[in-house]
Structure 1
């Protein structure tokens, strides 16, 4: 399923993860407040758990609908992009050192118990858990952490977050201490270092090419490591016999039928065949909840990032800002929100930010980004100014080249498909011929990462601050050549004016200074139109309490419900229980 981004409430970030030279002990207060998971209370005892109905049958595996594919390819390599591997490889089979709880706004200790900044925020030290074992019984240690990051350095194609752009060295000082020395202060790097899935040195040291390695039988530290069955149409994972959180996971395993698209996935959900999903479901109160009001539930907070059109900056005519503005102003976002997304959302503004970043929003930048307003007359005027004249067929052209391009979307993502259908109709009204092109997720995501598209639908990240939201969309450092995969700046847009601001924020720890820098970045975004934001993405999450309980909910928001973002869903996988 698509990464419909991060659910998160508004929170005070600075005290959490940008504090100067602070020692951040991770063993806080359980899942409810970001504490050590070993001491966390079960979410099943919280609000929303007491009215759950009885289980049917004896099945002990949680059936999940997340990524939609016509058939499965067996790949459990956690060092690859999440769209290339099977769920929950990067956070559920393998694990990171810490997990950022997007709903609580704090880091939860995982394979590490604490981290500490020192040397003017140029050294980051993690203390790892001594009791953790790999699923084959071998001990986990800080040396595995150092080895993992060594692989990313040796094979740059695996360094999906660009860690080695800011890390100078990694060293295991002993079995429970690993030290990262940075090239310069980069406090936001905690997120990327801390969330990196860790692999076992004793298994991976002999892998000749970890970039192509499919790792069909994973040895890992996560709650679900045993591949019970793997077929084209279904795979099942069993629990880790050596999991370090004693007594967890509470469920026996996970089950993943293959659904080629939203329609098939939603039918299975509505028919009671799925326990947990992250799908767009039209008219969900009638189609899903009403079928079993006692057990069928959902939670769609508008904190899932921003659904966005990515115009490929390496291709003409998308290097023309007037064209980008005109395209944006020709799009009726209210119609998309109402028809394509069933009224679950609202249109994006000129900052591109969702509700998770409300405290950061710069109203002046939002006003400057008036190109998100639906205004056909202005769109036509901009196109005229840019030299795109309408021909006899109604299609605009410049220098003899008609204004035609494709918009990529994933087959079966019915809400996104409808959004693009509305968009192409809107664009035709101003003389632009845009064509909808659908692909299965793997092909879609490969084209997105490699920049081999005209325009593509996509999502945005939601992290502790808008720093990486804007960095992902505008940073020159992430602009890679076409055909070279990247996990950010898919559209290859470089805002040189933003570079010094990104560097300044990387070392900033004062909340007022951070806010001022983000204000400036929002203004650059609003002025340069690097992408075309469409609507705030709901964090999609549905669950049934017929067989399993302990799910996050609006009443008990101990974590994000949606299974679509790692490593957040690890918080859920270790809390749900059989009824």
Structure 2
């Protein structure tokens, strides 16, 4: 490992001599997003809005919450649900006594309105709910019925996790896609925008929150940190109480400085980190090229250098450890994720990308094969990962370059397909269905230039869709697992995207001022604030320490 990589922990330690600055009691400092300046956006229904945390799980709420740490569903705005015998109707029973933050009652009309809005504005329907819904209507003030156009068992998770918005506010919004919702009205624990400036914003408690005595935290405060390094300095210095950061040598630089109060928990329940090839751009539309690039990557070295050994190399299913019980051994044994320079070179030769006299691979027109790898500039772990990957590609004769962008610009390029290769996360759910739908399904492919909620690589496979469609109607666990094994094998055969490693669910806590953080011993939720909607449980559990 280079000397430069070891300098950061030393700088962090050297910067930790000062005491944390005083702050108002009960104000929780959180580090989730790395941005140079804040944009006042609290739109919870448009995936491409770039809304501020915790808009989707803190300002607004969903009906039920699935927790990968426990494998269980927790009732939230709904107290329960029931399927009809033919699985064509799903009814949610809503919680009585819930009010919006402006004091108006929350009812089934709000739930029905939210989903009708998704139907009216397809850009909001990122999960494709109206591909399987026929109708949504209230049946009294506390019951809402979802009528399905077909049997679709995974639809429960998509409906249960949808943030619900107030009809009396949003019915007058002309364009909910572009609406920034600067003064949100939600049912969540934190809804009051007390401060909003370029470098800081603060959310106060919902005055009408439905859980008595909660939240115990008075307010959430967010400082703008352009990079991981700056956010980590604030964490180590004691400025930040709760973070979801990659921290180099975290046990030495953070935990050991105050073992009584500093804690971290990094289970491999985060989304898988991928190198996404834009499969609409040749030669990345060729599976041989995608597999060759994958085999050129030394993942053992990658996780050691870029991730400080916090994770493991991905296998050929791409699944993280939340899906251990689903993993198919045959699918996981694919050779295309194992480091093999010789075979990688052979595949590129076979694809017509042979080395020229200068050692560079050349396309059919004689031009060098040049690939740009895009990553968020402030995310030091992913920047190092991109550097390792680019170096490995150059060894293969590919003219590879790392390009860094500010988060907003990177995300826009990713979502619109304006890239060749980009490092990013995956989407997950209670089963691998959501993960693979966004990796393999033709139904999630969007044209270049159109915002895509995921499937940024724009790949669809008919055989995978046939298996996924059968999974949608499967009720028994045995049938579900058999079908998902087939999907995993199809993923390994087609290599639509290049899995690098399961992303640790980054979570750090400083309990000097607050108690109640989840941990490996108390896994009531994931510690990472990125883990939504787990964050709802954390925000309603944390409490200031008594003096």
The match for 2:13 is none
- The reply to whether residue 553 of structure 1 matches residue 519 of structure 2 is yes
Q: Is the 8 A contact 1:55 1:546 kept in 2?
A: no
The correspondence for 2:435, drawn from 449, 458, 469, is: 469
Tell whether the 8 Å contact from 1:60 to 1:252 is kept in structure 2 after alignment. yes
Name the counterpart of 1:230: 196
Q: Secondary structure at the match of 2:110?
A: helix
Looking at structure 2, the residues matched to 551 and 562 of structure 1 have their Cα atoms a distance apart, in angstroms, of 10
Checking the alignment, whether the CA contact within 8 Å between 2:48 and 2:451 is kept in structure 1 is no
Q: Does 1:133 align with 2:112?
A: no
**Cα distance, 1:80 vs. partner?**
1.8
Which of the residues 347, 351, 369 maps onto 1:382?
347
State the secondary structure of the residue aligned to 2:273.
Answer: strand
The whole-number CA distance in structure 2 between the counterparts of 1:224 and 1:57 is: 19
User: C-alpha distance in 2, partners of 1:232/1:413?
Assistant: 20
Alignment match, 1:109: 75
Distance in 1, matches of 2:394 and 2:297, equals: 10
What's 2:11 paired with?
A: none
* Structural mapping, 1:217-256, within 5 Å: 217-256=183-222
- Asked if the contact 2:291–2:336 (Cα under 8 Å) also holds between the matched residues in 1, the reply is yes
Are the aligned partners of 1:83 and 1:442 in contact in 2 as well (CA < 8 Å)?
Answer: no
Q: Is residue 56–residue 546 contact of structure 1 (8 Å, CA) maintained in 2?
A: no
Hey, what's the Cα distance between the residues in 1 that align with 2:233 and 2:526?
24
Residue 120 of structure 2 corresponds to which residue in structure 1?
154
Q: How does 1:388-537 map to 2 (within 5 A)?
A: 388-399=353-364, 400-537=366-503
DSSP 3-state at the match of 2:472: helix
The alpha-carbon deviation at position 55 of structure 1 amounts to 12
Once residues 520 and 495 of structure 1 are traced to their aligned partners in structure 2, the CA distance between those partners, rounded to angstroms, is 13
Note the C-alpha offset of 1:394.
Answer: 1.8
Cα-Cα RMSD:
1.4
The count of residues paired between Structure 1 and Structure 2 equals 525
Structure 1 counterpart of 2:305:
339
Does 1:542 find its partner at 2:537? no
> Relative CO higher for 1 or 2, CA cutoff 8 Å, sep ≥ 6?
1
- Can you give the 5+ residue segments of structure 1 that lack an aligned partner in the other structure? 1-53
C-alpha deviation, 1:56, in angstroms? 7.2
Output the CA distance in 2 between the equivalents of 1:128 and 1:360. Answer: 32
Question: Contact conserved, 1:56 with 1:547, CA < 8 A, in 2?
Answer: no
Distance 1:310 1:558 in 2: 32
Shift of 1:130: 2.2
Q: What SS is found at the alignment partner of 2:439?
A: helix
After TM superposition, give the deviation of residue 324 of structure 1 in Å: 0.6
Q: Which residue of 2 aligns with 1:278?
A: 244
| CA drift at 1:119 | 4.2
The normalised TM-score by structure 2 is 0.94
Deviates more, 1:88-97 or 1:119-128: 119-128
List runs of 5+ in structure 2 lacking aligned partners. Answer: 1-19
> Whole-Å Cα distance in 2 between the matches of residues 496 and 519 of structure 1?
16
Residue 228 and residue 82 in structure 1: after superposition, are their counterparts in 2 closer, same or farther (change >3 A)?
Answer: farther
For each residue in 1:467-525, what CA deviation from the matched residue of structure 2 results, as whole angstroms up to 9, or x when unmatched? 11111100011111111112121111011111111110001011111111011111101
Q: C-alpha deviations, 1:199-247, integer Å up to 9, x for none?
A: 1111111111111111111111110000000000000000000000010
Q: Deviations over 1:438-463 (max 9, x none)?
A: 11212212222221211111111232
Equivalent-residue separation in structure 2 for 1:151 and 1:495 (angstroms): 30
Report the Cα offset of residue 305 of structure 1.
Answer: 2.2
> How high is the TM-score relative to the length of structure 1?
0.89
Aligned to 2:12: none
